[in-house]
Structure 1
Amino acid sequence: MQPSRRRLLLAGALLPASELATACLKTTAPVSLGTLAAPARPPSVLATDESWWAEVARQFDITDEVNHLENGFWGAMGRSTLQAYQRHTAEVNRGNAWYGREAYPAAYRAAHADAARLLGVAEDELVFTRGATEALLALIGGYNRLRPGDQVLHADTDYDSMIDAMQWLRSRRAVQVEGIALPPVPTHDQVMQAYADAFARLPRLKLVLLTQVSHRHGLVIPVAEISALARARGIDVIVDAAHGFGQLAYAVPDLQADFVGINLHKWIGAPVGVGAVYVRRGRVADIDPYMAVKDDGRIFSRVHTGTANFAAYLALPDAIALHERIGIANKRARLLALRNRWVAAARDMPHIELLASQDDAQASALASFRLRGKAGKADNQALQQRLLKQFGIFTTARDGLASGSCVRVTPSLFTGMQQMDRLVAALEQLQRG
């Protein structure tokens, strides 16, 4: 018989905190994925099956205090992952240093092997970080093939911290930092032309940052094609795949880049604080060891997280299990269906300026908009607040595009079509002032 809450509370005065936490966890039945199985239908058909996606949504515990359309910050853990995270937290806390030194290394290696399998890379090409930002800072800051006078390149669609890191290379490596601005809603050919032109006009270009899916407006760029173009000119590429992996179907080597920063707590659904660095085998020496860490020639010396959150890494296999049970093709189709539901309606609204491609190959769950003639940062922060306070719709304002600021909308797997319809209704009302 499970202990009652009263008995647990009374026991709290007698039990050590770690044992009490373990006892509390035992009062919750384990969450099983056994009943969750994607029907044998094409992803494009399954994408609009609200009954099945309602079953997926039941795998998550998400607030209903707002219409939650800001899921680009991080991805909520599924119930099974959350329970695993709580269980591992109690286990780590109870075992303390004895667990950390004796049992944790093997458990960490198992989680690391599962991540390498998912990403399609060798285990010696991957090291965990606390997120994509830490991963990319290690790659950008550690890249040691630059010489004074060399050129490096970033775009307005890149993440703020990564742009700052590229700018920092001016003082770090004495290089020339170049930036390009993509059109607000570019075609595939316009993206390719923008990078081809930059490569042609920058004869000393040695390093380019590519963001696979822009956090500003969800644009998906053809990373593999741009990387091939760069490789032919002797240019190295660092890829920011923070919003790519878990939304798009690929193995990391498919990107044709030797250096990739990855986030596993966005679209894979690991606990917050799980990311990874990929360095293709044979290229580790081109990234400096982390500060004073001894260079052992392995990727693990290129990152130093300190004492990380053990339980977050240990719960990663449970997040991967849920991700794979749903299926990447099904996730991709569903996220596009949710995104296109509101984007298609907003295209017909004369007061709305969409920052969203009409080409699904360039689209992700993320898409942005602004009111026509209102591209200022303050305008869009006010718009984000209006959506929240007047309509109960939670989004986020994004700045940094050359064309101006915007409001980003990001559904997730637990989002229902009716939530997108409520957004459409709100956008229609914005025209009325």
Structure 2
Amino acid sequence: MNSFENRRSFIKKAGALAGAFSVNSFFNRLHAAEWQELEKAHLHKSPLEMATDEDYWTVIQQGYSASSSPIIILNNGGVSPSPLAVQQAVERFNQMSNQGPSYYMWRILDQGRENLRAGLAKLGGCDPEEVAINRNATEALVTIIYGLDLQKGDEVIGSTQDYPNMMQAWQQRALREGIVYKQLTFNFPSENDEEIVAAYRKAITSKTKIIHLTHVINWNGQIMPILKIARMAHEKGLEVIVDGAHSYGLLDFKIPDLEADYFGTSLHKYLSAPIGSGMLWIKKEKITKVWPLICAGDPKSDNIRKFENLGTRSFPIEQGIGEALNFHNAIGTKRKEERIRYLKDYWATKAEKIPGVKIHTSLKREFSCALAGVSVDGLTPGELESRLMRDFKIHTTPISIANINCVRVSPHVYTKISDLDNLVFGLEKISKG
């Protein structure tokens, strides 16, 4: 075979590899056959029944290199590791890109974005023409925060328990433009949706334009009543922004069913997409009114792609999202949600029985899923987090924001029951001094 034929053969293979939704996907090569047999053996079980099936989840765990990590990773709410199929895809696409970046990135890998957009939209139950691919929830949500027209004196209602990057973006608009940024503080955990809705309703004035909400509170895992708040807000003519960093790829919901106007999320949390990937959703009729952060054309266009004008980006990371979708969809959102909720309940129900240990998250299923906060009497969150890591090689994250002070624990599907037994053992030992 001559050099021309070699090159043509390579380009043909490269084009096939670039499609995460093709028969040549990394997921298909690594897992498809085994998982199909696994699925046949479990068709009769509901997602709730599957949550405790350790034989099934042992196979899933093997899809993650993190399952054999020398430390126990229980901070998946910060950033989750990617499965092997995703890692291998990113590595292969990176190698491909570096054999000729301007050709392989823009002529091959970039051509996969529309299939990827469709896959993300299908998972979110929305129109692909409402989905833009970004790098994280911050980029997606700040695009909305900076992109909406507001006048001096216009009010935005948020919470002191929202994510700092979003709070700071609103604070910057207040400083520069004179908008009014009002923040509520809640006593979490809460098991009363009506109290939460009433707090937002009470804060609304004739000048209020927007309510900014966090779907799952980053700090202690509280699931907020987004639909109830959104309906109340719309009755008063307001718009609603939702931070879905900790819900998309974890909770079984469709984005339009939240009845919000704008939604942003990170994909490198519970979807397990490559680190540095995110998604923006804007209700179709709202796209034209949002100014893009980086303008490369008509800023008033109604094309969602105007929010993807980032210049040169990591195409390998972007295309790796498709393999994460393959992995996620093969498990199923509801099955995944029930398993991760079961893991949270497994350790938290044991830990709350330990003298001196307190759980800072409701364990009722409608109010939490993956994340839960824990504290030990006499220790600061930082001290508890340090002890868990130093003495038991358990990685968590300390939380001290507003009135929430705890260590956040967030397992994932690759987390073993033995890992959580070690966590409970560690908490018991630490609580005894």
Which of 176, 181, 186 is 1:182 aligned to? 186
Corresponding residue for 1:118? 123
Task: State how far apart, in whole Å, the 2-side matches of 1:362 and 1:305 are.
Answer: 36
Corresponding position of 1:204 = 207
What displacement does 1:30 show? 4.2
1:154 and 1:166 in contact (8 A); partners too? no
Alignment equivalent of 1:167, drawn from 154, 171, 174: 171
**Map of 1:288 onto structure 2:** 291
2:107 equivalent in structure 1: 102
Match of 1:267 among 267, 270, 291: 270
How does the TM-score come out when normalised to structure 2?
0.88
Query: Which letter maps to 1:87?
Result: R
Give 3-state SS (helix, strand or coil) of 1:427's partner. Answer: helix
Shift of 1:275: 0.6
Q: Which sits farther off after the overlay, 361-370 or 79-88?
A: 79-88
1:423 is aligned to 423
Residues 206-245 of structure 1: CA distance to partner in whole angstroms, max 9, x if unpaired? Answer: 1111100111111111111111111111111111001101
Pairwise CA distance, 1:58: 0.5
Q: CA deviation at 1:205?
A: 1.3
1:31 — aligned with what? 30
Deviations 1:361-419 (A, max 9, x none): 11021111222465xxxx2112101111012211011221x324211001110111121
Secondary structure at the counterpart of residue 360 of structure 1: coil
What corresponds to 2:313 in structure 1?
308
> CA 1:372–1:403 in 2, change beyond 3 Å: closer, same or farther?
farther
- TM-score, scaled relative to structure 1: 0.88
Q: Which amino acid aligns with 2:83?
A: G
SS in 2 for 1:336: helix
Question: Which residue does the alignment assign to 2:382?
Answer: 381
Assess if the C-alpha contact under 8 Å between 1:66 and 1:393 holds in 2: yes
Counterpart code for 1:92:
S
- Greater displacement, 50-59 / 81-90: 81-90
Q: CA, structure 1 residues 178+303, in 2 after alignment: closer, same or farther (shift >3 Å)?
A: farther
Q: Distance in 2 between matches of 1:75 and 1:67?
A: 13
Take 1:326 and 1:42, find their aligned partners in 2: how far apart are those partners? Answer: 12
Q: Distance in 2 between matches of 1:415 and 1:178?
A: 39
1:254 shift after superposition: 1.1
Helix, strand or coil at the partner of 2:335: helix
Deviation at 1:352, TM superposition (A): 1.9
Matched, 1:83 2:83: no
Q: Are 2:420 and 1:403 aligned?
A: no
Check conservation: 1:290, 1:301, Cα contact below 8 A: no
Aligned to 1:8: none
Quote the residue 2:21 is aligned against.
none
Aligned counterparts of 1:124 and 1:284: Cα–Cα separation in 2:
10
Alignment partner of 1:55 is 2:59? yes
Q: 8 Å contact 2:221–2:361 — kept in the other structure?
A: yes
CA deviations over 1:240-284 (Å, ceiling 9, x no partner): 001101110111111111111022111111111211111111111
* Cα gap change, 1:231 to 1:172, in 2 (>3 Å): farther
Q: Which residue of 2 aligns with 1:230?
A: 233
Q: Which amino acid in structure 1 is aligned with residue 263 of structure 2?
A: V
SS in 2 for 1:353: strand
Q: Paired residues, what number?
A: 399
Counterpart of 1:256 (choices 254, 259, 264) is: 259
CA contact (8 A) 1:33 1:80 kept: no
The answer to whether the 8 A contact 1:138-1:303 is kept is no
RMSD: 1.9
SS class of match (1:315)? helix
- Aligned residue number for residue 11 of structure 1: none
Aligned residue in 1 for 2:242: 239
- Post-superposition shift, 1:108? 2.1
- 2:373 maps to 1:368: yes
Partner of 2:24: none
